[in-house]
Structure 1
Amino acid sequence: MSAHPADSRIYGHLWATPEARALFDDEGRTQSWLDILAALTRAQAALGVVPASAADTIGRYADVSLVDLDQVAFETRETGHSTLGLIRVLRRVLPESAREWVYYGATVQDITDTWTAIVMRAVGDMLVRDLSNVRDHALDLAQRYRTSPMCGRTHGQPGLPVTFGFKAAVWAAELDRTLCRIAEGRRRWEVVQLGGALGTMEFWGERALPLLDRFAAELGLGAPEIPWLTARDRVAEFVWVLAAGSATIAKIGNEVYQLQRPELGEVREASVRGTVGSITMPHKRNPELSEHLVTLSKVVRAQAGLAIEGMVCEHERDARSWKAEWALLPEACLAAAAAASLGDRMLAGLRVDESRMRRNLEAQRGYPMSEPVMRALASRLGKHTAHEIVYEAAMAGLERGDDFRTALRADPRLDVLGDAELDRLLDVDGALGAAPALVDRVLERTKR
C-alpha cells in the first residue's frame, strides 16, 4: 500500500523515475547508510583508530539484505533515535569482535548528512544527463528552425515576427545555465559530514582532521573546511537549483502547452497510439507531458522555500532543520528527476508546423511589421514622432477593420514611404532582425 503518488504502482511514473526512487526507499537509503558506516570504519582503520580486522568484518556485513528492516523500524520507534535502531540491529548480525567498532565516535548527522551529499551527487548525475538531452533537443530545434518565422507574442498578444529557432535557442541557453549552476555547485554540495557530537571532532583527538580527509576519499566526496551540522546552505542551494531547473522545463512545457492549442496549432506533442485524452470527449488529445511539467515544477519550487527556512538553526545542533530535509529533499529530487525525464521525452517528439506558424503570422494582416515601418519613418521624422504617426494609423485601421498596408496608406503623413519601400518593410522574412544570428551565437557558445 502506498500513501504517496511517487511510490504508487499506478501513478508513480508521473512523479518519479525508478532510478531516483531507488535512492530514497528503505532498501536504498539503508544500504547507503551501511556503505557510509563501512567507509568510516575503513578510514578509521587506515589511521589506527579501529582494528583493520573490524573494518574488514563490518564491510562484509554492511549489506541491507542481512538487516531485518522491520526490526530496524521497531527499534527506531522504541528508542526515538534516528539511527540507533539500525546500529542495534547491525551489531546483532556482526561477529562479536566487530560490534564495538561500528559507528565509532560518529553521530547521526555524520551518517545522514553524508548520505544527503551522496544523494545530491547521484541526482546531480541524473540531471546533468537528462537536462543535457533536453538542451540538445532545443539546440537541434534552434538550428533546424533558425529562419522559420512565427508570430512573437508579448502579454499574450501578437508582437513582432521571431523565428521558432530563436525561441528554441532561448530555451537551450537557459537550460545550459542550469547545467552550469550544477557544475559550479557540486564542489560545495558533494562533501561529507564528520563532526562527532557537536562538530569539533573531539572524540578522535589528533587524528580528527586526517580522518575527515580519509573518510571523504573513501566515498569519493569532498572534505569540508569545517563540519556543517547547522550550516544548511548546501542543501538549500542544491534544492534552489533543482527548483530553478524545473522552472525552466516548466516554462518550456507551458509554451508548448499554449502553442498546441488548436486555435494556434503551431506545435504539438507526439501522439502515442492508445493514449486517451477524455473519457467523455473521444476526440480530445490532451497536452499530457507539457501540462505535467508545470505541475512537477510547482512541487519542486515549494520545497525550495522549506530548504531556505532550514538555514535558520540554533547553536551547534538543531534537528528541526535537517529532519525537515528528510521530507523535502526526496520530494524535490523525485519531481525534478521526473521533470527532466519527461522534458527530454517531450522535446524529442515535438512536432513543429512551420506552415501554420506562417499562416498565423499572416493572419495578423501586416500589423506585426509596425516596428520596421516606424524605424524607416524615424530616420525622416524622428523616432517619437514616427511612433505617434504609426500608432495613430494602426489604431484607426484596426477600428475600421483594414489590413495594415491599407491603414498606412490612408494616412497622408506616411506618403513619404513609397510603395516599393513599404512592400519591403511589410515583408515578414525581412523583419526577423538578428534572430538567426542570435541562434548562431547560442549554437557556437554551447558545448554539447
Structure 2
Amino acid sequence: MSAHLADSVIYGHLWGTPELHALLDDEARVQRWLDILAALAAAQAEVGLVPADAAKVIAEHADVNLLDLAEIGAETRACGHSTLGLIRRLRRALPDSVGEWVYYGATVQDITDTWTALVIRDVASIVDRDLTRAEAAATDLARRHRDTLMPGRTHGQPGLPITLGFKAAVWAAELRRHRTRLAEGRPRWEIVQLGGALGTMEFWGDAALPLLAAFARHVGLAEPELPWITARDGIAEFVNLLALVTATLAKIGQEVYELQRPEIGELSEAFMPGQVGSITMPHKRNPELSEHLVTLARLVRANATVAVEGMVAEHERDGRAWKTEWIVLPEACLYSGVSLAMGCRLLEGLEADPERMRQNLEAGGSYVMSEPLMRALAERVGKHTAHELIYEATLAGRQRGVDLRAALLADHRITAQLTTEDIDRCLDPRAALGAAPSFVDRVVNEP
C-alpha cells in the first residue's frame, strides 16, 4: 500500500512516469549513494588518502542488491541519522580492514547533495528531450495552421481575428525559451558536493583540492568553485525552472480546456475509444489531459516556493533548509515529467475545427472587425475621433440587433468618409491579421 499517489498502483500514472520512478525510488537512491561512496573512495585512493585495494573492495560491494533495505531502514530509525544506517550496513558487508575507509571524512550532504546534483542532471536531460518533442509538436501546429483563421480573445471576449498558427507559435517560442534556460542553468546545477564538516574540507588537509577535482571526475559532475552546503540557490533555480515549464504546459492546457467547451468548439483533445468522461453522463468527452496539466503545474509551483524557502539557511549547516529538498525535488521532478509526457500527447493529438472557428468569427454580426474599420477611418478623421464614431455606431447597431456592416452603413458620419467598398474590404478577417503570419514564419523557420 502507498500513502503517496505518485506510488499508487491505481493512480501513479497521473503523478509520475516509470522513467522518473526508476531514478527516484528507494533502490535507485541507495544504489546511487553507494556509487557516490565508491567514487569518493576511488578519488581518495587517487590522491593517496585511502589504500587502492580498499577502494576497489568498496566498489565491489557498492551494490544495493547485497544489502537489505528494511535493515537499513531499521538502523536509520535506531540511530536517528539519515545516512549512518546505510554506512553501518555497508561496513558490515566489508572486510574489517576495509570498513574503516568507507565515507572517510565525508558528511551527509557530501553524499546526498551529490545525489541531488546527479538527479538534476538526469532529470534535466529528460526535460530537455520532452521539451524538444513538445516544441516540435507546437511548431508543427503553427506551420499547418499558419493561415487558419480564428477569434483572438482578450479578457475572455472575442477581440480580433488571429490564426491558430499564431497561437501555436506563441506556445512553441515559449517552450523553446525553456530549453535555452535549461541549457544555461545546467553548468550551475550539475556540480558535486564535497566539503566535510563545515565546507572547508579540513579533514583531508593538503589533499583537499586535488580530492575535490578527482571526486568530481569520478562522479561525472563538474567541480564547484567551493562547497555549497548552505548555498541552495541552484536547487531553487532548477525547481523554479520546472515550475516555469509546467506553467507553460498548464497555459496550453487551460486554452484547450476553454476552447473545447461545446459552445466554442474550436479545439479538442484527441479522443480514444473506451475513454469515459462521466459515469452518470455517458455523452461527455472531458478534456482530461488539459485539466490535469493545470493541476500538476499548481503542485510544482508550490514545490518551487518551498525550494526558495530552503535558501534561507542558518550558519554553515541547517538541516531545516536542505531536508525539505528531499521532498520537493523528487515531487517536482515526478510532476514535471508526467506533465511533459501529457503535454506532448495533447499537442501531438490536438484536433482543430477551422469551420467552427470561422463561424465564431462571424457570430455576433462580425463586430470583431471594428479595429480595421477604425484604422481606415482614422486616416481621414484621426484615431481618437474614429474610435468615438465606430464605438457609437457599434453600440447603436447592437441595440438594433444588426450586424456591423449594417450598423456602419446606417451612420452618415461614417459613410461620409468610407465607401461601401472600403467597409467591405475592412470586414475581411484577413485585413486584421497584421504581422501574425510573418511571426509564425519566424518561429517555424528558426533553426
TM-score bracket for this pair, using the shorter chain length: over 0.9
- State the secondary structure of the residue aligned to 2:160: strand
Q: Which runs of 4+ in 1 moved over 6 A?
A: none
Residue 253 (structure 1) shift:
0.4
Q: Which residue of 2 aligns with 1:421?
A: 422
CA–CA distance in 2 between the matches of 1:169 and 1:7? 36
User: 1:281 is aligned with what amino acid?
Assistant: M
CA–CA distance in 2 between the matches of 1:46 and 1:400? 88
Cα deviations by residue, 1:156-196 (Å, 9 ceiling, x for unpaired): 00000000000000000011111111110000011100000
Please list, as runs of the form range in 1=range in 2, the aligned pairs for 1:106-121 lying within 5 A after superposition: 106-121=106-121
CA–CA distance in 2 between the matches of 1:55 and 1:401? 86
Please list, as runs of the form range in 1=range in 2, the aligned pairs for 1:117-132 lying within 5 A after superposition: 117-132=117-132
CA–CA distance in 2 between the matches of 1:153 and 1:40? 58
Q: Which residue of 2 aligns with 1:327?
A: 327
Residue 429 (structure 1) shift:
2.1
Task: State yes or no: 1:442 paired with 2:440.
Answer: no
- Structure 1, unmatched stretches of 5+, are none
CA–CA distance in 2 between the matches of 1:444 and 1:43? 48
Cα deviations by residue, 1:240-284 (Å, 9 ceiling, x for unpaired): 000011000000000011111111111111111111111101111
- Native 8 Å contact 2:367 2:394 kept in 1: yes
CA–CA distance in 2 between the matches of 1:410 and 1:298? 51
CA–CA distance in 1 between the matches of 2:122 and 2:296? 20
Residue 325 (structure 1) shift:
0.7
Please list, as runs of the form range in 1=range in 2, the aligned pairs for 1:389-428 lying within 5 A after superposition: 389-415=389-415, 416-428=417-429
Please list, as runs of the form range in 1=range in 2, the aligned pairs for 1:250-265 lying within 5 A after superposition: 250-265=250-265
CA–CA distance in 1 between the matches of 2:180 and 2:413? 52
- State the secondary structure of the residue aligned to 2:323: helix
Q: Which residue of 1 aligns with 2:183?
A: 183
User: 1:51 is aligned with what amino acid?
Assistant: P
Cα deviations by residue, 1:116-163 (Å, 9 ceiling, x for unpaired): 001111110111011111111000000000011100000000000000
Residue 210 (structure 1) shift:
1.1
CA–CA distance in 2 between the matches of 1:411 and 1:217? 79
Q: Which residue of 1 aligns with 2:277?
A: 277
Q: Which residue of 2 aligns with 1:44?
A: 44
Residue 311 (structure 1) shift:
0.6
CA–CA distance in 2 between the matches of 1:69 and 1:423? 76
Residue 97 (structure 1) shift:
2.5
CA–CA distance in 2 between the matches of 1:337 and 1:255? 21
Q: Which residue of 2 aligns with 1:11?
A: 11
Residue 95 (structure 1) shift:
2.0
User: 1:432 is aligned with what amino acid?
Assistant: L
228-237 or 210-219, which moves further after superposition? 210-219
- State the secondary structure of the residue aligned to 1:194: coil
Cα deviations by residue, 1:262-310 (Å, 9 ceiling, x for unpaired): 1111111111111111110111111110110000001100011101111
Q: Which residue of 2 aligns with 1:430?
A: 431
- Native 8 Å contact 2:409 2:420 kept in 1: no
User: 2:98 is aligned with what amino acid?
Assistant: A
User: 1:49 is aligned with what amino acid?
Assistant: L
Residue 231 (structure 1) shift:
0.6
CA–CA distance in 1 between the matches of 2:213 and 2:357? 59
Provide TM-score, normalisation by structure 2: 0.99
User: 1:217 is aligned with what amino acid?
Assistant: R
Residue 23 (structure 1) shift:
1.8
**CA RMSD between the two structures:** 0.8
CA–CA distance in 2 between the matches of 1:255 and 1:342? 15
CA–CA distance in 1 between the matches of 2:111 and 2:348? 40
CA–CA distance in 1 between the matches of 2:204 and 2:16? 41
Q: Which residue of 1 aligns with 2:238?
A: 238
- State the secondary structure of the residue aligned to 1:177: helix
CA–CA distance in 2 between the matches of 1:222 and 1:413? 72
Cα deviations by residue, 1:203-240 (Å, 9 ceiling, x for unpaired): 11111111111111112211110100001101100010
CA–CA distance in 2 between the matches of 1:113 and 1:398? 65
Residue 426 (structure 1) shift:
0.3
Q: Which residue of 2 aligns with 1:139?
A: 139
User: 1:444 is aligned with what amino acid?
Assistant: N
Task: State yes or no: 1:216 paired with 2:216.
Answer: yes
CA–CA distance in 2 between the matches of 1:120 and 1:40? 20
Please list, as runs of the form range in 1=range in 2, the aligned pairs for 1:157-168 lying within 5 A after superposition: 157-168=157-168
Residue 443 (structure 1) shift:
1.5
- State the secondary structure of the residue aligned to 2:161: strand
Residue 15 (structure 1) shift:
0.4
Cα deviations by residue, 1:67-101 (Å, 9 ceiling, x for unpaired): 11111001100110010000000001112231111
CA–CA distance in 2 between the matches of 1:256 and 1:424? 32
Q: Which residue of 1 aligns with 2:289?
A: 289
CA–CA distance in 2 between the matches of 1:94 and 1:138? 54
Provide TM-score, normalisation by structure 1: 0.99
CA–CA distance in 1 between the matches of 2:349 and 2:381? 49
User: 2:424 is aligned with what amino acid?
Assistant: D
How many residue pairs get aligned? The number is: 446
CA–CA distance in 2 between the matches of 1:29 and 1:118? 11
Please list, as runs of the form range in 1=range in 2, the aligned pairs for 1:303-322 lying within 5 A after superposition: 303-322=303-322
Task: State yes or no: 1:173 paired with 2:141.
Answer: no
- State the secondary structure of the residue aligned to 1:161: strand
Cα deviations by residue, 1:359-394 (Å, 9 ceiling, x for unpaired): 111113221111110111111111111111111111
CA–CA distance in 2 between the matches of 1:400 and 1:232? 64
CA–CA distance in 2 between the matches of 1:61 and 1:398? 81
Q: Which residue of 2 aligns with 1:347?
A: 347
- State the secondary structure of the residue aligned to 1:152: strand
Residue 430 (structure 1) shift:
2.5
